[in-house]
Amino acid sequence: MKILKIPLSAGNLKQKKGLEKGPDAVAGEVKNFFLKESEVLPFLDVEDVKINNSNIEEANRQIAKAVSGLDMPAILLGGDHSMTYSAFRAFSKKYSNPGLLVFDAHLDCENDFSPPTHEDYLRVLIGEGHLKKENAVVIGVRNMHTNELEFAKKSKLKIFSMPEIYQEGRHVVADSFMSVARKFDALYISVDVDVLDPAFAPGTGYTEPGGLTTRELIYFIQRLKNLKNIQMWDLVEVNPDKDINNITVMAAAKLVVEMS
- State the amino acid at position 223 in one-letter form: R
- Among residues 80, 104, 110, 148, the one that binds Mn ion under rule CB under 5 A: 104
Q: Is 110 in the site for Mn ion (CB under 5 A)?
A: no
Exposure on the CB side of residue 56, measured as CA atoms within 13 A: 19
Q: How far is the CB of 3 from Mn ion (least distance, A)?
A: 21
- Among residues 194, 197, 234, 258, the one that binds Mn ion under rule CB under 5 A: 194
Number of residues that bind Mn ion (CB under 5 A): 5
Task: Select 192 or 197, whichever has its Cβ closest to Mn ion.
Answer: 192
- Among residues 20, 119, 120, 192, the one that binds Mn ion under rule CB under 5 A: 192
Task: Select 46 or 77, whichever has its Cβ closest to Mn ion.
Answer: 77
Q: Is 119 in the site for Mn ion (CB under 5 A)?
A: no
d(CA 109, CA 149): 8
Task: Select 20 or 186, whichever has its Cβ closest to Mn ion.
Answer: 20
d(CA 141, CA 124): 18
**Max Cα distance, the chain (Å):** 46
Task: Select 237 or 258, whichever has its Cβ closest to Mn ion.
Answer: 237
Task: Select 194 or 258, whichever has its Cβ closest to Mn ion.
Answer: 194
DSSP 145: -
d(CA 162, CA 91): 28
Q: How far is the CB of 237 from Mn ion (least distance, A)?
A: 6
Q: How far is the CB of 158 from Mn ion (least distance, A)?
A: 17
Q: Which stretch binds Mn ion (CB under 5 A): 132-140, 163-171, 193-201, 243-251?
A: 193-201
Residues in the chain: 260
- Residue 36 CA from chain centroid, whole number: 20
Residues of the chain by 3-state class (helix, strand, coil), percent to 5: 40, 15, 45
Residue 4, strand partner residues: 47, 76
Q: Which residues bind Mn ion (CB under 5 A)?
A: 104-106, 192, 194
